[in-house]
Amino acid sequence: MRIVVASAAFLVGCFCNPPADARPLMVSHAGRADYYSVQQAIDALPAEGGNIQIAPGIYREKVKISRSGIHIEGTGRNPEETVIVYGDGAINVGGTARSATLNAAGDEVRLENLTIQNDYALNPANPPSQAVALSVTGDRDVITRVRLLGAQDTLFAGKGPNGRMSRQYFADCYIEGHVDFIFGNAKAWFRKCELHGIANHAVIYTAQSKAAPDEDSGYVFDHCRLSADPAARYIALGRPWRPYATVVFLSTKIDAQVIAEGWREWAPGETNKLSTSYYAEYRSYGIGANPSRRDPRSHQLTPGEAARWSLKAFFGGATGWIPENHQDGTMSKSSR
């Protein structure tokens, strides 16, 4: 990996400090900055990673984080002020993974206080296609106070190459889309996040893809909120992309008109994956909570069963990589 701060700076005409400087690299479109491009700043970091701060603004570029220990933070008052956006669709770049606006493949990556968007679907001339905003495949990655905006396949929370372990933690995030907009086979925990379905003929919040009973993956949503646009139709909690899909909602406020069954088959009438998947809820509430009419193959958990999906239990007690101020969030009272 090259470490060439001066030459990279020359290419963008900005003022830079050598990577030995412990302070974060600053990215900005206005005023004095180290870099005007997020990717240029990432490429300039040393092999062990480092910190990048992004000033408020709109940064239209594709970003790839392939190394570990890279922390990126927006410096605005809220995530809306700092936006990384691009508009690739799987249909025109050769696959879903390649469409991602930001691809975080490194371990111990941290993203905070910014917006990541794929605006492919906003162009009415574009044909329907998967279009990923954020792809996360690293291990021990932490995403907090991040807005993820897209339509189909907004967030890919998946494992690395060859099924390599990927533990991921999301907190206080806003994630919007319609079909399968949180998908993949990572071992991912979501705390106090809002999942928002946008107007569409179908909204499916999750498409987890655990492929074998002994695969260590699954999604847990703790004290999250599910919402939807008034024009959203046929809203489901999830469908199994692979036959052992695992998704658990703990104390979730469902403010969307979710179908009574809650969950749906991957391809109704063609596949039979619900019988082997593990779909569960614990004390869901709100207009979309309907425990008595949920699909009989799903589960309504007892307090004892729900405790098995607590933060520490889910990660086998290995939670030292999660910030300390989030360690007490396990099944706590909702702040919403």
Clarify whether 153 is annotated catalytic: yes
Residue type, 3: I
Which of 180, 222, 255, 295 is catalytic? The answer is: 180
Q: What does the alpha-carbon distance between residue 9 and residue 17 come to, in Å, rounded to a whole number?
A: 9
Q: At 270, list the tokens.
A: 């063609």
Which of 153, 222, 255, 295 is catalytic? The answer is: 153
Do β-strands 50-54 and 187-191 pair in parallel, antiparallel, or remain unpaired?
unpaired
Clarify whether 141 is annotated catalytic: no
DSSP element (H, E) containing 312? helix 311-314
Q: What does the alpha-carbon distance between residue 191 and residue 169 come to, in Å, rounded to a whole number?
A: 8
315-323 contacts at long range (C-beta below 8 A, 24 or more positions apart): 315/167, 315/187, 315/189, 318/167, 321/108, 321/140, 321/142, 321/167, 321/169, 322/142, 322/169, 323/142, 323/144
Q: What is the 3-state secondary structure (H, E, C) of 324-336?
A: HHHCCCCCCCCCC
Q: What does the alpha-carbon distance between residue 273 and residue 240 come to, in Å, rounded to a whole number?
A: 6
Angle among Cα 74, 76, 78 to the nearest 5 degrees reads: 95
Catalytic residues: 153, 180
